[in-house]
Amino acid sequence: MTGCAHCGKRLDIVGNQVGRRDECPHCGEELRSCRNCRHFDPSVAKECKEPFADVPSDKDGANFCELFQIGEGGLHAKESKDQLLSAAEALFRKK
């Protein structure tokens, strides 16, 4: 299932047909972004599993990457900054 990485809602996309200016019909975010790519992985260098990709610094904005392939965006849905900070702080709290 293909989902938007920004809102997590299902997208009806045939093949890898995502244009540079295509937007999510649910939230209006750009679809051809790193976060919607199947190669996006926040745990690797430059957050991209493709070693030859020219990775843009803006992972949310549309880009011209020739290696872009629409992925399961729901897997990469952004968590709020507050949620991430709370989780990190919880790791280091003394009991």
pLDDT in tens, 6-49: 888 888 887 778 988 999 999 999 999 999 999 998 888 899 99
Going from N- to C-terminal start, the domains of the chain cover: 1-95
Cβ–Cβ contacts within 10 Å for residue 68, how many?
23
9, 27 contact by CB (below 8 A): yes
Lowest pLDDT segment from 45-49, 51-55, 74-78, 87-91: 74-78
Tokens coding 74: 């729901």
**What is the predicted pLDDT for the residue at 49?**
94
Q: Which of 1, 2, 64, 79 is nearest to 34 (CA)?
A: 64
Q: Average pLDDT, stretch 77-81?
A: 55
Name the region of 47 (left: φ>0; alpha: ψ -120 to 50; beta: rest). left
Q: Which of 37, 63, 66 is nearest to 53 (CA)?
A: 66
- Residue in the block written with tokens 């938007």: 4
Tokens coding 15: 């093949």
pLDDT band, very low/low/confident/very high, at 87 (cuts 50, 70, 90): confident
- Residue in the block written with tokens 């244009």: 19
**What is the predicted pLDDT for the residue at 16?**
74
More confident position, 66 or 82 = 66
> pLDDT tens, 47-68?
999 999 998 999 999 999 999 9
Tokens coding 70: 């629409």
pTM here is 0.72
